[in-house]
Each structure stands twice: as structure tokens, then as C-alpha cells.
Amino acid sequence: MKADLRRLIPGRLARISRASLTGARASAAAAARFSAGHVWQTVAGGLALAALCAGIVAAAVSGSGSSPGRRAGLQSNREDVAQHIVLPVRVPAAELAKLPSATTYATTPAAPLDSAPLAVTGGLVVRPLKPQVVYAGPGKPPVAVLPTAELGGPTWVPVVQTSPGWDRVLLPTKPNGATGWLYTGAPGRPQVDTARSAFLVRIWVGARKLSLYDDGQPAGTWTVAVGANGTPTPTGRTFVLALLAPAHPTYSPLILPLGFHSNTLDTYGGGPGTVGVHGWPDPSVFGQAVSHGCVRVPADGLSALSKVPLGSLVVITQ
């Protein structure tokens, strides 16, 4: 990315307190005992979101005159969850200094790959309030450090799986589909900001279509240009990494870099081959496979996408 790119912070995010997620994760963990493992990983985001609503209602009832027995039960539930939180491994300073920073310029070879690359989440996103160690799993070795900023804007990454005291997130690094676990169970002040994005972007490479959804409702569909045969648009689930406004735009007034990279180009235009969504001045390209991997959208589509919050999920299918 060029140095003259100015950052914008788009969209709306519904902030969620970390405490309100405790009941949701406890309920999700209980549901997991009755679910096949691979099915649970695919629908964990949806179950956690449904359980979150129940947790918020329960908290509201508790705070407005619930019985002592009910309050005791909730407290017991929280303590039970706390007892099952796996603590992170200690990372010495020397080892911490050697970990890659999880940015679009980095490679994280030890990061586990996404186990459900086409699944949709409940929209949960997190932002590190200070650099966070990223682990291979709860109680497993570290693989990277997630910084507080990406391409000049705040870091927001989508949560694709949860466990008591832990969030599994998508990373913007190579290889595509890299994930990692953030420890969120530390007592005291939260280490991450938690929110929910109502937006989902879907891209169909073969059909050359991009659709935007807001709270599950269609908000627009556009015919787009995708990667050429030699430089195809990668598939899987990723996220909106940043919103950039070039000071002197040539082909697009806005660029939305994604947490994906070209599978055929190690570098492009001085950058690491980051795939993005942007406009294009010549409308004849829409519906064609002509780009270097990026997705080119019409002006009205770009305007709609500019309102999508950072960290929002993008699912690209063939």
C-alpha cells in the first residue's frame, strides 16, 4: 500500500461487554456436548449469538429483582465457567520478540488454518486494546502478535469460534485462512474490545456477483469483475481489513483491502499481494474475469461497501 493512502473508519458496530458473553459461552459449551464436533465448529457463531441474547435477558432479569436462588445459580454458572478456562502458556520476552506481527505483510506458518472456510458467523468482532499474543489454541504455543493497527486504522478481526476465555479469529496474514486464538479470560480490565457487525459480504467468483447483507437482509447485489484465469480471486472466508482513500486516486476513490492474498502473486504494486475490493472507471469490465485477483465493483456498490465496519465477514465462493 502506498504511503499517501488516508484511512477511514466505516460503518456501525454494536459494542458488547465481555461480561455479557460469559453466559453465552457457557450455553454454547453445553450445546457442544450434544453436537458432532465438525457441526459445532460450523455453527458456533450462530449458537453463541442466540445464547448471547438469552444471557442479556437473564442479566436484565437478575438486575431487576430476581430471587436469591436465581442469582446464586448465575454466580455458580460463572464460577463453573471460570474453572474450565485453559490458561495461556507463558511466553518469555525473548520468544515474544521473535513472533511475527499479524499484519497483511506477514506470514504465520504455525497458525492453524480455518476449519470451516465457507461458514457464516454471528458477526462477533474484536479489537485488541494493546498488542495481543496469538496462540495456536487454548494452552498451545504462540504463533504471532496481533497489533492494534492495520494499514493505519484500528485492528478489527472476526471471531470464528469461541471457548471459555478464548476467541478464535481470522488473521490478515499469509497463508490465506490463517487463524489464531486470543486469550480473553484474564481478570481485570478487558484486553480486547468486543462488538457485533450486522454486515456480511458474499462474493460469487463464477457468477461475478457481489451481495451485501445487513442484519441478514439483502442490501444490494452488483455484477463485478474478478481475477483472471492466471490470477484468480482466492476463495474462502476473510474480512474487511481497512478502508483506504487515496489522496490522488487513479482507478478508485476507495479501496477495501481484505485479509486475503493472491495465490499466484507474492507482491503487486509494491505491496504483499493483498486482495481488495475497489471501484473501476471503465464499466465494461464488470462481469469479466480480468483483474489480478481484486474484485472491481460499480460506483454504487462501492458506496454501499464503504459503510461496512472493519472486521466484517467476507465469504468468497467459486
**pLDDT at residue 114 in the model:** 98
Spatial contact of 8 and 306, defined as CB atoms under 8 Å apart: yes
Bond into 187 cis (ω within 30): no
Residue 5 is inside which H or E element, if any?
A: strand 5-8
Residue 69 is inside which H or E element, if any?
A: helix 68-83
Q: Which residues contact 245 (CB under 8 A, 6 or more apart)?
A: 5, 6, 7, 8, 253, 254, 255
Model confidence, pTM: 0.79
**pLDDT at residue 250 in the model:** 94
**pLDDT at residue 10 in the model:** 63
**pLDDT at residue 9 in the model:** 56
Please check whether the domain covering 198-317 is classified as CATH 2.40.440.10: yes
pLDDT digit string, tens, across residues 29-68: 433 332 222 222 233 333 332 332 333 223 332 333 444 4
pLDDT at residue 72 tops 60:
no
> What Å distances lie between residue 6 and 118, 128, 157, 244, 271, CA to CA?
31, 21, 20, 6, 16
**pLDDT at residue 60 in the model:** 30
Q: How many residues in total does the chain contain?
A: 318
Domain borders along the chain are 198-317
By percentage, how much of the chain surpasses pLDDT 90? Answer: 70
What is the SS3 assignment for 25? helix
**pLDDT at residue 84 in the model:** 86
Q: How large is the average pLDDT for residues 66-84?
A: 50
DSSP state of 245: E
pLDDT at residue 93 tops 80:
yes
